[in-house]
Amino acid sequence: MTTSSNQEPTTTHAPPGVPGAALTGRVAGVALLVVLFASFMDLLDATIVVVAAPAIATDLGASQAQLQWMLAAYTLALGSGLITGGRIGDDYGRRRVFLASLAVFALASAACALATGPGVLIATRVVQGLAGGVMVPQVFGIIRSSFHPKEMAKAYGAFGAVQGLAAVAGPLLGGLLVDADVFGLGWRTIFWVNVPVCVVALLLGARALPESAEARRSALDVLGAGLATLAVVLVLLPLVQGRDWGWPWWGFAMMAGGVVVFALFMGYERRVRDRGAQPVLDPALLRVRSFTAGLLAAMVFFGAIGAFFLTLSLYLQSGTGRTAWETGLVMLPYAVGSIITSGVGVALAAKAGRALLVTGALVLAASQALVWVLVKDGTDPGYWMLALALFVGGLGLGLAAPILVNVVLAGVPGSDAGAAGGVLSTVNQIGAAVGIAALGTIFFTSLDDPAPDADRLQAFSDALARVMPWEIGLYLLAAALMLLLPRTAAPAEAPTAAQPVEEASS
């Protein structure tokens, strides 16, 4: 999980008609458009499925555990792809890897749309997530290696705008496509829409994107990446499936096995480092207190967000009877709030990064408390009250999520910043997957055992209300951990391979 910033200079081969390594003019515009299209799709796919989840579950006859896996498997696979995606592009050519992973993403999207059962959809979502995880680091690598330094800031600014657009478009587009039932395809259109966009991006990218790679190829820590993924899966699998299995003793043994595998992973990473190779996670980084606190803060922060949108979508559609489109409209103020404050957060990060993080987490906790008050009595609170609570949450997200990575990296030596950023990006995705597994299980367990004489709305209200104290607690814990971070953000030439908006909504 490294970026090219710590390696030898990049070799760039410009396309015909473009002088030197830096893209200019129309070709630069087309190249930027291609990578932004790809980023938009990747971000959109994390948010759009949340609104469509109830329709998918009904059509495919998915169990509650399978519904959790449709979301958690994508985020976990995305994180796994980020582990080695940047290094693969550095070694084998960012253009080549970008186009290949974009093609796989298109094929996986089509396979998702054609899924005949929940198991098939989960498997294709894993492939889609892996392709997205490999593709995203190439976006930053291509911008960094192919644009003039003066144009780079504009390119990253455009990427930030795409983040905000995807956050707004995801719930709305998902709801619109599901309710419109285009050609009778229903929820499947949320995946089909990726295919023509990918085809256009592939055609344009093949003509406009330059090739770039590192001068010296380094070995991938494939075994380390595999051990890290296995450790997480051994913990997640019994968490999600435990209710269906009846919480057997061997499920808890699997979780314990995950801890053992993680210990083996750390020992192996030490050996990789000692022989002079580049590990997935350098154990020396964990001795940096602020970095360790940042990993924990990111895990609980994004874990809370990932679980909230799944449970909220189910409450709104299956509990209150809203359509997918109406559900997207309820979620829209959250995205709007995050867009409003994200610019403020980024502008002030160099002066008050830690304070903004803590404030954002506390505002999110307050937002969850508002939701808790609104739903716990078992009545539909109505659009405007829910919209207000979510708008407040979006304000908190905008303060914290865009700057979290740079604040954490401020405490890491510059030579380790690339590796640390990759680790943190992956942990964000793992946190979202763990949150969906753990808090989703609390939600569904409540639905399995509703209060006597509870109607459907009451049952879903009780389930969401049971999750809210955990949500509040996670944000408060994140705020406490953030107090251990550096006071200000580190100056960054480029974003890391994390997308805060995507993680927030996955």
CA distance 14 to 209: 8
Q: Work out how many domains the chain is built from and give that number.
A: 3
Q: For residue 13, what are the β-bridge partners?
A: 211
Helix (H) / strand (E) containing 329: helix 324-375
Residue 332's domain comprises: 288-506
Kindly state whether residues 446 and 300 are assigned to the same domain. yes
Residues 168 and 197 in one domain: yes
Q: Dump pLDDT digits (tens) for 319-357.
A: 999 999 999 899 989 988 988 888 787 788 888 889 999
DSSP string, 199-222: HHHHHHHHHHPPEEEESS-----H
Strand partners, 214: 10
| pLDDT attached to residue 356 | 92
Coil/strand/helix, residue 489: coil
Assess if residue 8 is contained within a domain. no
SS3 state at 23? strand
Residue 61, exposed/middle/buried by CB under 10 A (0-12, 13-18, 19+)? exposed
pLDDT digits (tens, 9 = 90+) for 118-151: 999 999 999 999 998 888 888 877 877 777 776 7
In a domain, 368, yes or no: yes
The residue type found at 198 is C
Query: Do 374 and 503 reside in the same domain of the chain?
Result: yes
Segments of the chain scoring below 70 in pLDDT? 1-25, 150, 152-153, 156-157, 160-161, 163-165, 167-168, 214-218, 414-418, 451, 453-454, 490-506
- Looking at residue 167, which CATH number applies to its domain? 1.20.1250.20
- The pLDDT score that the predictor gives to residue 496 is 47
Residues 306 and 248 in one domain: no
On whether the CB atoms of residues 346 and 407 are closer than 8 A, the answer is: no
Radius of gyration for the chain, computed over Cα atoms and rounded to the nearest angstrom: 22
| pLDDT at res. 361 | 96
Same domain, residue pair 263 and 361: no
Q: Do both 297 and 446 map to the same domain?
A: yes
**Which residue, 211, 238, 262, sits at the end of a domain?**
211
Query: What does the buried/exposed string (b/e) look like for 182-218 if buried means 16 or more CB atoms within 10 Å of the residue's CB?
Result: eeeebbbbbbbbbeebbeebbeebeebbbbbbbeeee
Do 377 and 487 share a domain, yes or no? yes
- Which pTM value belongs to this model? 0.83
- 188 and 294 co-located in one domain: no
